[in-house]
Structure 1
């Protein structure tokens, strides 16, 4: 009888472990399904404001050809670098997304180009994947943790987290300083969809946060033949070692700080401009000097 009970418990444990691993494999595949060559459409529209006198800003539309390059593929971490193909021979390094399984360490945006390191408890992130999004210079942008859901043929991940102003607005908007992003990533038959329900929030140290306006956003990634992004693939081959060094330097800086504040400009230049000017053969010391000049 005792042996039968032990065998039953063992079989139950194995069954649970297999199911958990199968779910994790589904998660990993969904994340990697975001790699490839895509025609991307960006659409944003302000939908509501609690201020009856607020004048909504114009809708935003843009399109691009983008290559999403898998640069890390480990059991508990997947990293994807996005590259814009402007012309057949012109490529611009775009954003990066890292996915890490049951990761307790997140960076949370706190306005004024400042991020706080936050440690989650193990129970709250069980089975979850953290998405960490980085800017074009590999500095932090936003991060959040949630569970991938696979149901009725759908593959969805959803999280709400604060972020800096989007690139389409940070140069000409000063009425808000935090974008509270509700991000939904969904793998689709045509590629994938980044759907957003955002709040534009004015944060002040001496007052309650105030919502200026709400916004609906769609980043629609329609997959096309990889050959159309050949220029981006070649560019990454020539520049990947430089950006691996940049990522390593950022990892060192982020690990050493509970709170990170970055200067917007140094000597009239933004950090991405300084890093983009580096040669592919730049040394670790040169990269360190370039980044550390912007850290307050």
Structure 2
């Protein structure tokens, strides 16, 4: 209610200045583009189980990351993250799509064995009004989590918040099996010297027909610091590989559009992200980009790992 009231005040003041609320939202999202030093800080903070053994206490990492706007239309902004190692090695990192008043959401259910289950749901139009959905994707453009909320601009601040269920984070994906759902609360805020993704995460055990069980909570802060950093390698990488990853995005979007989706990221000794990285490298070496051939190869890989019910 408080955020709705503040947003109403801002809409009124924006009308006077000639800038709409939507214009302010888009400007905030676009400010996430840039070359950053990123600090990753994570720590488990609480467990309702007194015998719980805490993991990854005070985990901290630093990296250089380039965030590139790869699509920019009135109702959609796509930001691709590219991780840079030792100034020369580039790893295609996560991606975030921002959609205005979106009504189609892919929600995470749970992981059973090696299979992650997802459901396509519809957001009622009245609840979607004025909101932005953030769709987050893994390094291979498989789904990570999707949530929606309203951007708030007040007292010189611009921030957005949302809740969404997600699979285990990659840093724990292959190390832990004591929970199968991450209940994420995300706060994104834009600063003069960059931006922050502030997370309060619940680690949950979910079983069909049973009540969710919380085993621990975690605090995570990903801070993107503006500065004179070297992102040249990422710019060059994206120039060479953007056509390939555009097709990957398109095929995933088509595949995930309907029904219940089961994804097995690790199957028969194969891992989706490694298969895509290898295919991307082969494609970049070709004299000519063959979109039809690339699409067919990507479709084959995704079909082997994804089941639609």
Please indicate, yes or no, whether the TM-score normalized by the shorter chain is above 0.5.
Answer: yes
Match among 24, 33, 36 for residue 34 of structure 2: 36
Instruction: List runs of 5+ in structure 2 lacking aligned partners.
Output: 1-11, 284-288
* Aligned ranges 1:113-152 → 2 under 5 Å: 113-152=116-155
* Root-mean-square deviation over aligned CA pairs: 1.6
Partners of 1:59 and 1:277 in 2: CA distance: 34
* Aligned ranges 1:63-74 → 2 under 5 Å: 63-74=62-73
* Aligned ranges 1:20-169 → 2 under 5 Å: 22-57=20-55, 58-112=57-111, 113-169=116-172
After TM superposition, give the deviation of residue 17 of structure 1 in Å.
10
Partners of 2:43 and 2:267 in 1: CA distance: 33
Aligned to 1:292: 303
The higher radius of gyration belongs to 1
Partner SS for 1:138: coil
Aligned to 1:207: 210
| 1:206-227: CA deviation from partner (whole Å, max 9, x where unpaired) | 421000001111001001236x
Partner SS for 1:55: coil
| 1:130-152: CA deviation from partner (whole Å, max 9, x where unpaired) | 00001111111100110000011
Partners of 1:17 and 1:223 in 2: CA distance: 27
Aligned to 1:4: none
Partners of 2:19 and 2:123 in 1: CA distance: 22
Aligned residue-pair number: 280
Partners of 1:74 and 1:198 in 2: CA distance: 31
After TM superposition, give the deviation of residue 290 of structure 1 in Å.
1.5
After TM superposition, give the deviation of residue 21 of structure 1 in Å.
5.9
Partners of 2:228 and 2:35 in 1: CA distance: 6
Larger displacement relative to structure 2 (19-28 or 37-46): 19-28
- TM-score of the pair, normalised by structure 1: 0.91
After TM superposition, give the deviation of residue 196 of structure 1 in Å.
0.7
Partners of 1:184 and 1:80 in 2: CA distance: 17
Work out whether residues 38 and 223 of structure 2, in 8 Å CA contact, stay in contact via their aligned partners in 1. Answer: yes
Partners of 1:161 and 1:168 in 2: CA distance: 19
Partners of 1:224 and 1:17 in 2: CA distance: 30
